[in-house]
Amino acid sequence: MNTLIAISGLGILSLLAEIFNARKAIVPVTIIGLLAILGFNISTYNHLGAYYNNMMITDKFSVAFSSLFIVITIFLVALSHEFYKDQKTKISDYVGIKVFLLAGTVAMVSFGNLSMFFLGIEVLSISLYILAASNRLNLKSNEAGMKYFLMGSFASGIILFGICLIYGATGSFDLNTILLVISTQAYPQWYFIGIIFLLIGMLFKIATVPFHFWAPDVYEGSPALTTATMSSLAKIVAMATLYKLVMALLPVQMYSFQLIIVCVAIASMVLGNIMALRQNNVKRMFAFSGISHAGFMVSTLLLMSNAANTLLYYASAYAVAGVAFFAVVMYVTKDKENETIDSFNGFGKSHPLLAGILTASLLSMAGIPILSGFFAKFFLLNQLVHTGWLVLVIVAIISSIISVGYYFKIILAMYTKDSEHTLPKVPVMYQIVAVVALILNIALGLFPNVVLNLLG
Amino acid sequence: MSTLLIIFYFLSAITLATAFLTIISKNPIHSAIYLVICFFSVAGHYLLFNAQFLAIVHIIVYSGAIMVLFLFTIMLMNLNKEGEPHKKIATKLAAVISFGLVCFVMLAVFIKAMPKMETYRTSGQDFQSIKVLGKVLLNEYMVPFEFASVLLLVAMMGVVLLSKKEKTIQ
Amino acid sequence: MNNILVQIGIENYIFLCVVLFCIGIFGVLYRRNAIIMFMSIEIMLNAVNLLFVAFSTFHQDAQGQVFVFFSMAVAAAEVAVGLAILVSIFRNSSSIDIDNLKNLKG
Amino acid sequence: MNVSFILIFLLFGAVATYFAGDKLAKTVALFFSLASVVGSIFILNQYNHGINSDFIANWISNPNLYIALKVDGLSLAMLLLTTVLTSIIIFSSFGNQYKNSKSFYALVLFMSFAMVGTFLSADAFLYYIFWELSLIPIYFIALVWGNGDAEERKKAVIKFFIYTLAGSLFMLVAFIYLFQKVGSLMIGDLYTILLTQNEQFWIFLAMFLAYAIKIPIIPFHTWQANVYQKSPTVGTMLLSGIMLKMGLYSVIRWQLPIAPFAAKTYMTILIALSVAGVVYGSTVALKQKNIKKLLAYSSLAHVGLIAAGAYTLTLDGLRGAVLQMIAHGFVVVGLFFAAEVIERRFKTQEISEMGGIRIQDNKFTSMFMIIMLASVALPGTFNFVGEFTLLYSLYSANIWFAIIAGTTIILGAVYMLKMFQHVMLGEANAKVFQSITTNETIVFVVIIVVLLFFGLFPKPITDLITPALQEIVAKINMQLNS
Amino acid sequence: MEKNLALVLLLAPLCGFLFNVFLGKKAGKTIIGAIGTLSILISFFATTYFFALIQSNAKPIQIDLFQWISLEKFNVNFSFLLDQLSIIWLLFVTGIGTLIHLYSISYMHDDENMHKFFAYLNLFVFFMVTLVIGSNLLVMFIGWEGVGLCSYLLIGFWYKNQEYNDAAKKAFIMNRIGDLGLLIGIFILGYLFNTLDYATLKTGILANSDILSNPLLSIAALCLFIGACGKSAQIPLYTWLPDAMAGPTPVSALIHAATMVTAGIFMVTRMNFLFNLAPYVQDIMAIVGTITAIVAASIGLVQNDIKKVLAYSTVSQLGLMFLALGLGAYEVAVFHVITHAFFKACLFLGSGSVIHALHGEQDMRNMGGLKKVMPITFWTMMISTLAIAGIFPFAGFWSKDEILMTAFHGNMILWIIGSIASIMTAFYMFRLMYLTFFKEFRGTDEQKHHLHESPSLITIPLIILAFLAAIGGLISLPGNSWLNHYLAPLFGKVGHAEHHLDGTAYVLMAIATVGALVGIGIAYSKYIKQNQVPEEDSKITGVAKVLYNKYYVDEIYDAIIVNPLYKVSHFCRKYIETAVSGFVFGLGKVTNEIGTQGKLVQNGSIGLYLFAFVLGVCSIFIYLFLV
């Protein structure tokens, strides 16, 4: 709970900094603040409980995921200074929005009441609409913002409808009360309809097939840092929230519900990977890759044991790989009209370190061992076999194989082609973020225990 | 049929009709007007429920703020003409079919899921007066209430961000 | 105070709201004018709001009505942001027809 | 000292090589590879004295996985093979100038690291990680330092990567399934489970996909020739000399003991496939015009025979397989190196553009010839020991297998002698063949000495591997009988 | 002592080989030759010691060195066996080997690669010794393949000529076909008896009477015979031997006449206990041998290349030996091997001497009248020719007569065919002599000018061999055969009843002699009386053409085996590889294609996206709540 307050305060602080003309200090101060909050958040691990009439629940799940979100936000904020170099006057807005976005995400994973959930997801969504459209002179960015906004608010309507039906069935927004009602009384069927509406809305936010159409367009059109935010942060937030919702509201999963999850997961894995094969725009490709990863993450809903841990691990692995990926992509595609794969030609020779990092993150996402992506997939599949959905496992394997095809397109471009133009000097911050993300990635791979046992 | 029911049907007819008209009107201004009427009819429903405070807030927020925003934008963009190009038949057809489908599916689902409502609980207590609402909102729902301010703050920042011209460009 | 639902019935409200919601969906699908699409979304939200109030009465509980406040706040915020985006698109392309927004595809 | 030191050492070597810079890289790499040979010999010594060199540590508690490296005769033999061959391969590349050689040699050492890990792992998960890890360096080696048209090469290498990855992912599924049954992936635990026929079939099949692609067994071999041809020779040597052996080793270590029923039930099909590979590889090799492709197909034939032997499930078959794995490792490295020596001078891989080398360099011709003869399993060379044992084991399975597989000694002679004739003999070529350097000679001599010594005196290796193989055979038979 | 001496016997040639390989080039030609010859001579002396030893106590010497290949059921050791058979074989291998080395010193003196030649020859002797003294089939197999390798190296000694290389390759590959048979045979024996040692195999086979009914035993024998066919150039694997004449002449003498090609006979004799139990295989062996004898002899009738004639003669003689083996007369075969080694080596060396004198000319049509210029060569060759033609009292008469006599007692048809082959032999050998040494010289003036008798290093071996060819028959005179008694321990029971010198024997001898004389007579009338010279290649017609072209066997082999094999290879490479690889690529392409089509769906229109969204919602609801 206090984390949420602190984050909101930090957001306001960054707004105030603009007023006091302390632009240069914004990013460092925010990062330090976030680090402090991270420390504080981790310390609340020992003070679990519900706050303010059960509006916020601090449990292991929320603490762990909040910490992950904070870490990712730190990366994103660290990248901001360099990324928004040309728009110095707006830096406080950007940083502020990102911090508020973080507040929204924290609310989403620690809610105890559906109203908090709804507000959290709206804070997140609205921030993202803004960030997507934030390059206001660029029609692509406008278009991305518009598409995201239209479809996003449509999905918000559906989520709201879902909440409404749940309320109609149980008479409460409080998770505990709802659980009590459905386990002790007869309640109308609306409840399930509401759950499904919620599920659909969240699947939209996670971008799974068939609710994925917005993702490629929006990812491509948005400024790179926003894309990074959407892909690494928003996706896993939505996934964690969905997980929490399903676990809290649907204690017993029906077969038909599972079947829907399986279908969605399979469709996402396959379609995402196949579509990514023919993409020439790196961000767009990453969107499709994200769709397939969403398929993987969604299948954690089926797991019978250790699901939260697996999800946390998968999300962390995916996020750190994504951050490293975007740190490099942002550098390479800066000042470029399109983020085509050709931009990476000869990158391996001119920048061995960054190319190596990019390669490592791609390999991680492709699921090659020692990088965390592999372990994530392994743990997930390991649990999945247990559930008996072997079809899903096989499809996951096949789609992993397909995914190698496009991840390696970038690697091929980096190492086998010659570059046509030179790139400016590498910004230090990009390099630091990329390196730290890579280290985290490898560390997660080498010591999976650290993350894997957090949630008991 | 009780009076209430008649009023309900009347209001509902207005609501649905205006909502529908909002959508099919070619002139955005007309749409906006229809929408205002629609909002008023919804407020009528609220009054029917004896939720006066909500009805008023609804009118203030929707008809007062949101609709003004819409109209303002329409006028800003000078969109009062029928500017929309002719849509493809396929698009229309698809929209109509999916509307039919959604309507059918939703109604069917709800009809199927509808419980037998023999009696309605009447608590007899006041649950929707301003006083009660205020208590609930500022005690139980204090955190969301505050958090809504963050939401509005973000929206405000965003709108400013999107509309503010950069100094460097000038 | 009598429960109004005794006379009207919750199912009527549910059907009303569902149809209203579907009209909203229809609007989003049918129109290509961004402003009208926004309006359709507002209709959808209103349908839900109405249902909230109906359920609130159904349960004789204030929480549903409280939620409507949040929902209104959200609607307002969304509309503000949406219109801001719309304005900047209009500035760039002098059109608010979303069918013109097809640069991003493939 | 336990075996993990060798792994750490190789990994450290890879890093050190990278930071040593382009000039020093090869020397540093050679140093570390030689040192790893010394380390392996030390481990061998410990093993012979009964000192335990295993390394087992908890790694992940849930799921329950270990970092477990175990040493027995079999893994020790493979360890020695890997380290020795890596040294030879690194040394053999001293005549080449690679761009960005620090990365190149670092990758070579890293690959050696991964392969050593594969051979030593006693936990299936760890084993799988090393197995996959070994793909990455060879991918880059082939991709970046390969030869031929870049687009073609890319296609071939990507195909290779995806293909092998695809196979191994199915193996992963099999392991996951096993984990669900056993709750651990330690080899000892896996050996004790009893699976139903059906389970065994699927697990065997999943593993077979991985191994059949890696080994390769027809019809999963299509990646091989192209990649061999397009990789730099060092890569080809690593691939054919050691990496193929990973597949064969895994068959013996993992596949057969875990699913012996399936192996027994489908033995005929498996052996038939492998033997078909022998004939097919030899046949295709007859008409190859590219020397590296020819050697690739010959390799296909040889490993087919090894696989066939392994699938007989007899001690003879397994022992022959291991012996031949080692022998083939050396021979194939020697042959590819010979191709490389020629390519350095003639700048071509086309057999039709060669010829007349013997007139110009007798020494090279003789050494090439000895290695070639070893590859056609002339008695007295190491390969004969392996091939004889393998064919004998095949005979005990079915005489026709032995006869059909035995055609390799005819067909092998046909294509090898044909190749030798057109590459080495005949009138002097217009191109000048400079006499081979001392470094190149050393490589050949080492290989030849190994081949001849163990050809006449294979007892040390046989004694080393036999107890481990006996254990595996005993385990297989125990399951089959129960 | 025995062990060390045996090792000396074995390793001396190897040392010679190593010396010549590594130091030969620097050492100078005299030393090369000296070392090369000496190393063989040492072996020869060692052999004589063992010969003396075994003569005195008749006990085989078994020497175990170390374990070689281990199999589950048994181990194969490096071990050697010196018994009557191996020692007698060693005697003529090292003996004739020494002579031929001596000969080569002069013959190869002008070749720049003389050191290599001697190295290969030494290596050959080493492997031959290994083959002979190995105490189990696998050690024998080392030698077996090793001599094949040396044969390959020496046939292709003049490696610049690709035709020679082809011949070498052919020899090696054909041998390998036989080797596969041999290997399979070894497998079967190992599988049946869990040993490959001769001694234990023998006891195993003899002790186990059930084994007789096991068809595997016959198959094993057949497989071994196939191996022997390859090495000893029997139908259908004989075509390499005539081609092998591409090598230097001493090689032809040593390897392709005297020693290596008799390895098959050695092996069959070694395994006599097995063949005795496989009567069908014995029949096959006899038939194959006879057919080979007649076919090769008939081809030899019309060949014009002096060495080709000798080569076909060799094949034919080997056929006769197999005839004897097939009839169970092992000691007769051995006897013929020995005499054949003497006279055929002499003939080859003589022909080498002629070729040397003519600077490489091998076509008899361009020779003639050499009798006067090269008297020693002529006379030594004459003696050998008489021996091979089977004229009393030369060595060939006795041995060939024994074979024919055995055949007569065994099967009349075989005897008739064998006799015809002998007559042919007499004819073509004298044809050779007449064309080469009689009448006028038909070569160029240039050649005529340089004609000379060969130096003494060449003639001395010729004289020694001619001497042996003349008196070699003494070791096994009918009725009182030293050889039979010497070899008797090997065959357990005495191989077959010794032929007594009864009436039949004398009649047969007479028939054989008359037959030989007829052959000689025809040759005389044709080439001396009528002064014919064989026609140009293009003018040969009819049967002669078929014969001259060796029944077109090479062409037939090409047509039915080699070409189809290459066609299959081409087919596999071009189509099957492409198809399999195309399938894998095809999967990728299909996936890519789906991706390309999928891009069309993602067309950027929000309407479509929302439409899909709504459809998704509907389908989920329909599935969950309405179905």
For residue B78, give the CATH number of its domain: 1.20.120.1200
Do E585 and E609 fall within a single domain? yes
Q: Judge whether C93 is closer than 8 Å to chain B, CB to CB.
A: no
Q: How many domains does chain B have?
A: 2
Q: Judge whether A126 is closer than 8 Å to chain C, CB to CB.
A: yes
End-to-end CA distance of chain B: 68
Task: Report the gap between the CA of E612 and the closest CA in chain C (Å).
Answer: 10
- When scoring E606, E608, E617 by the number of chain C Cβ atoms within 10 A, the one with the most, hence best to mutate, is E606
Mean pLDDT on B62-85: 80
Per the structure, the complete domain to which residue B39 belongs is given by: 3-127
A18 within a domain of the structure (yes/no): no
The dihedral over CA atoms of A287, A292, A296, A298, expressed in degrees to the nearest 10, equals: 70
Peptide bond preceding B85: is omega within 30 degrees of 0, i.e. cis?
no
Q: Per the CB < 8 Å rule, is B120 touching C5?
A: yes
Q: Judge whether E620 is closer than 8 Å to chain B, CB to CB.
A: no
Lookup: tokens for A248: 């809290």
Do B96 and B133 fall within a single domain? no
Task: Report the gap between the CA of A235 and the closest CA in chain B (Å).
Answer: 20
Residues in C 6-45 with any Cβ partner in A closer than 8 A: 14, 21, 24-25, 28, 34, 37, 41, 44-45
Do E435 and E574 fall within a single domain? no
Do E505 and E565 fall within a single domain? no
Note whether E touches C: 3 CB pairs or more under 8 A.
yes
Do B109 and B50 fall within a single domain? yes
In this complex, the chains that touch A, judged by 3 or more CB pairs closer than 8 A, are B, C, D, E
Task: Give D55's strand partners.
Answer: D69
E502 within a domain of the structure (yes/no): yes
pLDDT-derived band at B167, boundaries 50, 70, 90? low
Peptide bond preceding D63: is omega within 30 degrees of 0, i.e. cis?
yes
Helix intervals (H) in E472-541:
482-487, 503-523
Q: How many domains does chain A have?
A: 1
Lookup: tokens for A412: 């091929």
A389 within a domain of the structure (yes/no): yes
Closest CA to D251 of D313, D327, D175, D297: D313
Do B39 and B102 fall within a single domain? yes
Residues of B in contact with E615 (CB under 8 A): 98, 101
- Write down the pLDDT at residue B169: 43
Question: Which of the two residues, B15 and E432, has the higher pLDDT score?
Answer: B15
- The nearest alpha carbon in chain D to E158 belongs to D426
- Write down the pLDDT at residue A105: 95
Do E71 and E145 fall within a single domain? yes
Closest CA to D332 of D305, D366, D281, D298: D298
Q: CA E390, CA E403: separation in Å to the nearest integer?
A: 12
Residues of C in contact with A147 (CB under 8 A): 101, 104
What percentage of chain E carries pLDDT values higher than 90? 2
Nearest CB neighbour to C65, from listed B32, B38, B54: B54
Lookup: tokens for A113: 């009441």
A117 within a domain of the structure (yes/no): no
Q: Judge whether A129 is closer than 8 Å to chain C, CB to CB.
A: yes
Q: Which residues of chain E have pLDDT under 50?
A: 495
CA D135-D138-D144 angle, 5° bins: 130
Peptide bond preceding E393: is omega within 30 degrees of 0, i.e. cis?
yes
Closest CA to D211 of D73, D307, D77: D307
- When scoring E78, E572, E589, E590 by the number of chain D Cβ atoms within 10 A, the one with the most, hence best to mutate, is E572
- B142-156 pLDDT, tens per residue? 999 999 999 999 999
Do B38 and B90 fall within a single domain? yes
Q: Per the CB < 8 Å rule, is A122 touching B151?
A: yes
With H, G, I as helix, E, B as strand and everything else as coil, classify residue D181: helix
With H, G, I as helix, E, B as strand and everything else as coil, classify residue D151: helix
Which bin fits E369, alpha (ψ -120 to 50), beta or left (φ > 0)? left
The identity of residue D289, as a single letter, is: K
Do E528 and E617 fall within a single domain? no
Note whether B touches D: 3 CB pairs or more under 8 A.
no
Mean pLDDT on B134-140: 90
Question: Which of the two residues, B170 and D69, has the higher pLDDT score?
Answer: D69
Residues of A in contact with E616 (CB under 8 A): 200, 210-211
A185 within a domain of the structure (yes/no): no
Q: Are the C-beta atoms of A431 and A353 separated by less than 8 Å?
A: yes
Count B/C contacts: CB-CB distance under 8 Å: 228
- When scoring D125, D144, D172 by the number of chain A Cβ atoms within 10 A, the one with the most, hence best to mutate, is D172
Do E174 and E151 fall within a single domain? yes
Instruction: State which fold the C11-97 domain adopts.
Output: Helix Hairpins (1.10.287)
Nearest CB neighbour to D180, from listed A386, A412, A415: A386
Residue A51 predicted with pLDDT over 90? no
Note whether C touches D: 3 CB pairs or more under 8 A.
no
Q: Judge whether C100 is closer than 8 Å to chain B, CB to CB.
A: no
Per the structure, the complete domain to which residue E141 belongs is given by: 1-205+226-264
Nearest CB neighbour to E620, from listed A155, A196, A402: A196
Which bin fits E411, alpha (ψ -120 to 50), beta or left (φ > 0)? beta
Q: Per the CB < 8 Å rule, is E621 touching B109?
A: yes
pLDDT-derived band at A45, boundaries 50, 70, 90? confident
Q: Are the C-beta atoms of A32 and A94 separated by less than 8 Å?
A: no
Q: Where are the domains of chain D?
A: 1-262, 266-482
Q: CA D77, CA D70: separation in Å to the nearest integer?
A: 13
Nearest CB neighbour to B87, from listed C19, C25, C32: C32
- A240-261 pLDDT, tens per residue? 999 999 999 988 888 999 999 9
Alpha-carbon torsion E510, E514, E515, E516, what sign? Answer: positive
Per the structure, the complete domain to which residue A276 belongs is given by: 254-456
Burial per residue of A337-349, b for 16 or more beta-carbon CB atoms within 10 angstroms, e otherwise: eebbbebbbbbbb
Residues in A 61-100 with any Cβ partner in B closer than 8 A: 86-90, 93-94, 96-97, 100
Nearest CB neighbour to C102, from listed E599, E605, E611: E605
Closest CA to C35 of C106, C84, C104: C84
- When scoring A122, A146, A165, A166 by the number of chain B Cβ atoms within 10 A, the one with the most, hence best to mutate, is A122
Q: Per the CB < 8 Å rule, is A133 touching C88?
A: yes
The CA R_g of chain B, rounded to the nearest whole Å, is 21
The CA R_g of chain A, rounded to the nearest whole Å, is 21
Residues of A in contact with C89 (CB under 8 A): 139, 142-143, 146
The identity of residue D400, as a single letter, is: W
Q: CA E370, CA D175: separation in Å to the nearest integer?
A: 83
Q: How many domains does chain E have?
A: 3
Element containing residue E477 per DSSP (H, E): strand E476-477
A434 within a domain of the structure (yes/no): yes
- The nearest alpha carbon in chain C to A122 belongs to C74
Lookup: tokens for E11: 């390793």
Within 10 angstroms of residue E209's Cβ, the number of other Cβ atoms is 8
Q: Per the CB < 8 Å rule, is A134 touching B161?
A: yes
pTM of the model: 0.91
Closest CA to E457 of E102, E92, E52: E102
Do E258 and E368 fall within a single domain? no
Q: CA A47, CA A42: separation in Å to the nearest integer?
A: 10
Q: Per the CB < 8 Å rule, is B42 touching C63?
A: no
Task: Report the gap between the CA of B148 and the closest CA in chain A (Å).
Answer: 7
The identity of residue B75, as a single letter, is: M
In this complex, the chains that touch E, judged by 3 or more CB pairs closer than 8 A, are A, B, C, D
Strands (E), E37-165: 61-70, 75-82
Task: Report the gap between the CA of E599 and the closest CA in chain B (Å).
Answer: 20
- The nearest alpha carbon in chain D to E157 belongs to D425
Q: Are the C-beta atoms of A258 and A246 separated by less than 8 Å?
A: no
| Helices and strands (DSSP H and E) totals, chain E | 29, 4
Burial of residue B90 (CB within 10 Å: 0-12, 13-18, 19+) is: exposed
Per-residue pLDDT tens listing for chain D (482 residues): 788 899 999 999 999 999 988 888 989 999 999 999 999 999 999 999 988 888 999 888 878 889 999 998 999 999 999 999 999 999 998 888 888 889 999 999 999 999 999 999 999 999 999 999 999 999 999 988 888 888 888 888 888 898 889 889 999 999 999 998 888 889 888 888 888 888 899 999 999 999 999 988 888 888 888 899 889 999 999 999 999 999 999 999 999 999 998 899 999 999 999 999 999 999 988 888 888 999 999 999 999 999 999 999 999 999 999 999 999 999 999 999 999 888 888 888 888 888 888 888 888 888 999 999 999 888 889 999 999 999 999 988 888 898 899 888 888 888 998 888 888 888 777 778 888 888 889 999 999 999 999 998 899 999 999 999 999 999 989 888 87
Q: Per the CB < 8 Å rule, is C29 touching E603?
A: no
Do E396 and E472 fall within a single domain? yes
Residues of E in contact with B96 (CB under 8 A): none
Nearest CB neighbour to E159, from listed D316, D358, D410: D358
Q: Per the CB < 8 Å rule, is A161 touching C88?
A: no
